[in-house]
Amino acid sequence: MITVKIPYVHEDVDRHGNVRIYFWRKGQRKIRIREAPGTEGFEKRYRELLAESEAGKLAPSDSAPGRIAPGTWRWLCVEYFKSSEFKSLDPTTQRPRRGILESTFDEILFPGSDETFASFPLARMTSKSIRVLRDRKRKTPTAANGRVKAINGVFNWALAQDPPLAQTNPARDVPKLATPSGGHHTWTVDEVSQFEEHHPIGTMARLALAIFLFTGIRRSDAVRLGRQHARDGWFKFRQWKNRNRHPVDIEIPILPELEEIIRQSPTGDLTYIVTTYGMPFADAGFGNKFREWCDEAGLPQCSAHGLRKAGATLAAENGATVHQLMSIFGWLTLKEAERYTRAAERKRLAKSGMHLLVRGKE
C-alpha cells in the first residue's frame, strides 16, 4: 500500500487492489496523477496542479468526492443501481454487473486526458465512446463484450423511464468482439469414463457427475436439487437462474441410471450433493470442489459446465429437436438450442456425404 502524505494528494484503491493517486481540493476537480510518487515526473505534475489550483483554473465540479453531477455516466449508473430492475437481479448477477459498470468510471477518455468517464456527460456519449470502453478490454474479448452488454442494459433501462434519463442508447450498435470459439471444453465419452473410474458409485463426486449427465441442469440447480423435487418419477423445480425476472419451471423424468446412483450414494436431507460436513454447497464452493474432483481424475481441461454441453451435444446428435432441448436445458430462446442442432446436423450430413469424396462413388 502506497502512503503519500502531501497536501491535496489522495489515494484510492480500486476493486482490484490497485492504488490510484489523485490531486483534489474541496470544491475543485479531482485529477489523477499517473506519475509514480517520489519521481521527478510526479513532483513536476504535482506543482503544476498546485499552481492551477491556486490560480482557480481547476473549476469547481460535481465530480468531487461525495457529489455526482446529474446527467453524467456515473450518475446514470448510480440511478440504475437504485432501480427496482437492478434490485430484482439475483445477488450473484448484481455483484459482477455493478463491478463491470463501476470499472468504467476511472477510465480516462483518451491517453493523457484528465477527464474520466465518471463525469462524462451523457449527451456526449456516442457509439465511439462505448467502443473506447470496449477496446480497453480487447485482450480479453469476453470481458470486453460483457462491458458493452452491461452498458447497453443501463441505457435500455434509462430510455424506458418516464421521463427518459437518456436520449439515445450509444451501445446499441456497438458490435461484439470475436471470442475464441467453443467456450468451455465439452467432455468426451472417454473423459466421462475416466472420471467414473477414479470416482466410483458411492462417492459424492460420482453422484454429482450423474446429476449433471442425466439431467442437463446448471451448477446453480445441481447444488439445490433434492428429494423434495422428485415426484412420481419426475424432477420438478423452478430453475434458479433468472428465477425472479423470467422464471422457468423445469419438469424432467428421472432416468433409471440416475435413480440407482442416488440410491447407492450418501446424500443430504435437503440436497443430494453435500459437503464433507453434510451441508449444502454454495455455488462457488461447489464449482471449486468439482474442479478438484476433475483434477484428481487427471482431467484439468474438464469442468461442470462442460458436462452440460456434452449432454446437449449428445441429445442433439441423437435427434433431439430444438424445442426438446429447450425443455430439457431450460433455455428461453431458440438461439442456444439451434447451436447444438446445427452442429449435429452438420455432423450427420458429413457422415452421409463423405463417400462422395472418393472417385467414382455416388
Q: What are the CA-CA distances from residue 309 to residues 111, 186, 290, 303, 357 (Å)?
A: 42, 6, 16, 10, 31
- The span from the CA of 336 to the CA of 178, in Å, is 17
Q: Are residues 139 and 232 in the same domain?
A: no
pLDDT at position 24 is 81
What are phi and psi for residue 18, nearest 5 degrees? -80, 135
Q: Are residues 226 and 267 in the same domain?
A: yes
Q: Are residues 234 and 98 in the same domain?
A: no
Q: Are residues 123 and 16 in the same domain?
A: no
For residue range 18-27, what is the model confidence (pLDDT) as tens digits? 778 888 877 6
Q: Are residues 46 and 77 in the same domain?
A: no
Report yes or no on 244 lying in a domain. yes
Percent of the chain with pLDDT over 90: 39
Q: What is the mean pLDDT of residues 305-325?
A: 78
pLDDT at position 197 is 95
Q: Are residues 31 and 117 in the same domain?
A: no
Report yes or no on 235 lying in a domain. yes
Closest C-alpha to 178, from 134, 132, 125, 126: 134
Residue 182 pLDDT greater than 60, yes or no = no
187 is written with which cell numbers?
467432455
For residue range 291-314, what is the model confidence (pLDDT) as tens digits? 999 999 999 998 888 887 777 777
Residue 230 pLDDT greater than 80, yes or no = yes
Query: Structural domain of residue 320, as residue ranges?
Result: 189-351
Q: Which amino acid would we find at residue 3? A: T
Q: Residue 116: which pLDDT band, with cuts at 50, 70 and 90?
A: confident
For residue range 54-103, what is the model confidence (pLDDT) as tens digits? 777 665 544 444 568 899 999 999 999 999 999 888 777 888 899 999 99
Report yes or no on 277 lying in a domain. yes
Report yes or no on 321 lying in a domain. yes
Q: Are residues 221 and 154 in the same domain?
A: no
Q: Where do the H-state alpha helices sit in the chain?
A: 40-54, 73-81, 84-87, 91-102, 127-135, 141-159, 189-198, 204-215, 219-222, 256-263, 283-296, 304-317, 322-329, 334-353
Number of domains in the chain: 3
pLDDT at position 160 is 95
pLDDT at position 111 is 80
Q: Within 10 A of 210 (CB to CB), how many other CB atoms are there?
A: 21
Report if pTM > 0.85: no
Q: What are the CA-CA distances from residue 303 to residues 55, 110, 143, 311 (Å)?
A: 60, 39, 20, 13
Q: Are residues 214 and 315 in the same domain?
A: yes
Residue 244 pLDDT greater than 70, yes or no = yes
Report yes or no on 114 lying in a domain. yes
Q: Are residues 82 and 45 in the same domain?
A: no
- The span from the CA of 299 to the CA of 288, in Å, is 14
pLDDT at position 65 is 46
Q: Are residues 261 and 346 in the same domain?
A: yes
Q: Are residues 126 and 262 in the same domain?
A: no
For residue 327, the SS3 value is: helix
Q: What is the mean pLDDT of residues 6-14?
A: 79
Report yes or no on 61 lying in a domain. no
Q: Are residues 210 and 342 in the same domain?
A: yes
